[in-house]
Amino acid sequence: MRAALWLLALFGIAVALALVAGNNQAVVTLFWPPHRVDMSFNLVTLLLAALFMTLYLALRAMSAVFSLPAEARRWRAQQKERAMYGALMDAQTHLLAGRYIRAARSAQHALAQEKSLALLGDAARHASGHNAARASQLRALAHLLVAESAQSLQHKTLRDQHLQLALRSVAPRDAQEVREGVQLRAVRWALDDQDGGAALDWLGQLPQGAARRTLALRLKLRAARQAQQTQQALETARLLAKHRAFSHAAAQSIVRSLALELLNEARDPAQLKQAWHSLDESEHAMPELVLHAASRLMALQGDADTVRAWLLPVWDRMMQPDSGIADRLRIKLVTVLEAGFDSLDGGWLSRIESAQLGRPRDPIVLYLAGTACLSRQLWGKAQQLLSQAAPDLQDANLKRNAWRALATLAEQREDEAAAAQAYKRAAQA
């Protein structure tokens, strides 16, 4: 269809020219004394058109001749740029394939090509699309590839050298993302070297927005744990849990383990209380943390009233019908309370008695009530409760303690046979 339209247009132009020029009797006379030249108007028009085309083609030819050096420089710049990007791609490919020496060589070849490209004129580089911002990014990536290969080869001197070159290649404003990527790689390398302090230093150099990304927080958690900065690691784990970087169960497990480490670092009751108050409300509600903190405070000769105040929420939860607290935690609660029976007040005695009346077949509660009566020198009540609890106790320590207490009570009654039988059962436990 387009060819037919062009053909019709050509026929139209031909018809128009025939109508205009066919009957044109105009004459153009040129006077050049003493000569006179008469020419038709159509011939003059054709000569002028031919002269214009000749001048136009001559100017185009002269322009092409004078632009040959610039075109040659641009062609060389394009070839160098293609070789540079090809070398960079080869370096990345070799790095992924585990050929670290070849990756380093390809990256260094890309740097050499970029350096030679920088020696060309600005016009040639602009014509090839290679501006200053792209050049800085490419240099940083090439240095990073060399440093990554050196890290895989455990060549730390070369790694640090190219790491600094990569950071100097990019300005903070021109290539912020590249600079942050280089810094995050430096954090990973420090973690691989088990240098948590250096990793934290690198993380401290990140901008505030980059430091709060999930990747940076994950690295910060690992670095803080390597540097044994438990408080900082716990705060980072809380942020990751808030950002939903882990599942709920995994987040609770990580936070619980870090909180346990923080409590274990305390060397006196004051440090332990300070560590306990640094935990948030959700962590105060974890029975494992409460019981561990109370046990540590008792081991450090702390205040027994404070221990029982910490244990009260766990006790109330344990007394609920469907508490969901495991038996090991209930046993630990009983053990911690038993260690502070010397200063047990009336309020706790009434709680223990109410628990025993409410759960008359629970051997753990019966054992706790029996030992409480034993500490108050209520021999008959203690013997009754411990006799009921001892056969059904599953924990070896509680069973052994119950039979030993029954043996002691039998000795007080001068019942040698019962005492011997109780000691035997304690030894078997």
Span 52-86, pLDDT tens digits:
999 999 999 998 888 888 888 888 888 888 888 99
Give the tens place of pLDDT for each residue, 230-289: 999 999 999 998 888 888 889 889 999 999 999 998 899 999 999 999 998 888 888 899
Beta-carbon count within 10 A of 136 CB:
19
For residue 242, count CB atoms less than 10 angstroms from its CB and return exposed for 0-12, middle for 13-18, buried for 19 or more: exposed
User: From residue 225, how far is each of 217, 282, 326 by CA, in Å?
Assistant: 12, 22, 29
pLDDT above 70 coverage of the chain, percent = 94
Contact call for residues 410 and 426 (beta carbons, < 8 A): no
Q: Name the nearest CA neighbour of 122 among 80, 72, 73.
A: 73
Residue 128: pLDDT over 70:
no
User: From residue 217, how far is each of 188, 210, 224, 282, 350 by CA, in Å?
Assistant: 12, 9, 10, 21, 48
Q: One-letter amino acid identity for 260? A: L
Residue 293 CB contacts under 8 Å (≥ 6 apart), including other chains: 263, 272, 275, 276, 310
Reply yes or no: is the peptide bond before residue 34 cis, omega within 30 of 0. yes
User: From residue 242, how far is each of 141, 232, 257, 262, 369 by CA, in Å?
Assistant: 33, 15, 17, 20, 42
Residue 369: pLDDT over 60:
yes
CA dist 395 and 368 (Å) reads 13
Give the tens place of pLDDT for each residue, 212-239: 899 999 999 999 999 999 999 999 999 9
Q: Tokens for 230, please give them.
A: 């438990």
| Mean per-residue pLDDT, 187-208 | 91
In the three-class reduction of DSSP (H, G, I as helix; E, B as strand; rest coil), residue 27 is classed as strand
DSSP characters over 100-143? HHHHHHHHHHHHHHHHHHHTS-HHHHHHTT--HHHHHHHHHHHH
Beta-carbon count within 10 A of 306 CB:
17
Contact call for residues 251 and 223 (beta carbons, < 8 A): no
- Residue 300's pLDDT is what? 87
- Residue 157's pLDDT is what? 92
pLDDT band at 109 (very low <50, low <70, confident <90, very high): very high
Average pLDDT, the chain: 85
Q: What is the pTM of this model?
A: 0.75
Q: One-letter amino acid identity for 363? A: P
Topology adopted by domain 350-429: 1.25.40
CA dist 399 and 384 (Å) reads 15
Residue 159 CB contacts under 8 Å (≥ 6 apart), including other chains: 147, 150, 151, 189
Measure CA 337 to chain center.
42
User: From residue 72, how far is each of 58, 61, 113, 298 by CA, in Å?
Assistant: 22, 17, 17, 85
For residue 320, count CB atoms less than 10 angstroms from its CB and return exposed for 0-12, middle for 13-18, buried for 19 or more: exposed
pLDDT band at 131 (very low <50, low <70, confident <90, very high): low
Q: Is the dihedral of CA 194, 198, 200, 206 positive or negative?
A: negative
- Residue 202's pLDDT is what? 93
